[in-house]
């Protein structure tokens, strides 16, 4: 009987952990949905950039369309208890990354999982991305480009464009 109680306790603990993980992914996805609209700023080199976030596919995906830094698309979606992104890069490859939320819920960090059209692990690709919503109108994005074992960080400070 004691073994049954321990097994049931373990199952309940595992179920609670799964619910928390799903809840974190859902919270992060809901945060991304709140980005909906147009954001403007500058690239690290000073070039103007505009990014538009749009909730699509009956609320099951968020699309980011970046104009000014290679005109790239990034798609975000839930996959069970994970939040994933696929970045359609101007370099012609498509890295997929998995999200981790910060304890305060303001930052979502994405780590490389795999990529399509990537010749090898040393080929240039986006390897890491961090989205930090400072307040409803100020967003920071930090992207890490990885090539030949070296990482280069790119930071974008964006402000929500007000409707006219």
- List Cβ neighbours of 8 (8 Å cut-off, separation of 6 or more): none
- Model pLDDT, residue 45: 83
Q: Map out the domains of the chain as residue ranges.
A: 2-160
| Residue 105 CB neighbours (<10 A) | 13
- Model pLDDT, residue 2: 58
Domain 2-160 in CATH 3.40.570.10? The answer is: no
- Model pLDDT, residue 47: 86
- Model pLDDT, residue 103: 86
- Model pLDDT, residue 46: 85
DSSP string of the chain, one letter each residue: -HHHHHHHHHHHHHHHHHHHHHHHHHHHHHHHHTT-EEEEEE-TTS-EEEEEEEEETTTTEEEEEEESSS-EEEEEEEETTEEEEEEE-TTS-EEEEEEEE-TTSSEEEEEEEEEES--STTS-EEEEEEEEEEETTEEEEEEEEEETTEEEEEEEEEEEPPP-
Supply the pTM of this predicted model: 0.83
- Model pLDDT, residue 162: 86
- pLDDT tens per residue across all 164 residues of the chain: 555 454 445 444 444 444 444 468 999 999 999 999 999 998 878 889 999 999 999 999 999 999 876 789 999 999 999 999 999 998 999 999 999 988 888 999 999 999 999 998 899 999 999 999 999 999 999 999 999 999 999 999 999 998 77
């Amino acid at each position: 009987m004691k073994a049954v109680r321990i097994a049931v306790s373990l199952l309940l603990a595992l179920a609670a952990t799964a619910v928390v993980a799903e809840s974190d992914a859902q919270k992060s996805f809901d945060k991304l949905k709140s980005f909906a609209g147009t954001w403007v700023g500058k690239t690290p080199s000073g070039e103007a950039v505009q990014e538009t976030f749009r909730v699509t596919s009956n609320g099951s995906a968020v699309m980011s369309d970046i104009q000014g830094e290679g005109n790239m698309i990034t798609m975000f979606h839930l996959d069970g208890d994970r939040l994933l992104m696929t970045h359609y890069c101007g370099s012609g490859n498509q890295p997929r990354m998995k999200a981790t939320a910060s304890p305060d819920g303001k930052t979502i960090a994405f780590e490389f999982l795999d990529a399509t059209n990537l010749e090898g692990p040393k080929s240039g690709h986006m390897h890491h991305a961090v989205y930090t919503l400072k307040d409803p109108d100020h967003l920071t994005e930090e992207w890490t480009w990885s090539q030949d074992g070296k990482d280069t960080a790119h930071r974008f400070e964006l402000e929500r464009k007000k409707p006219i």
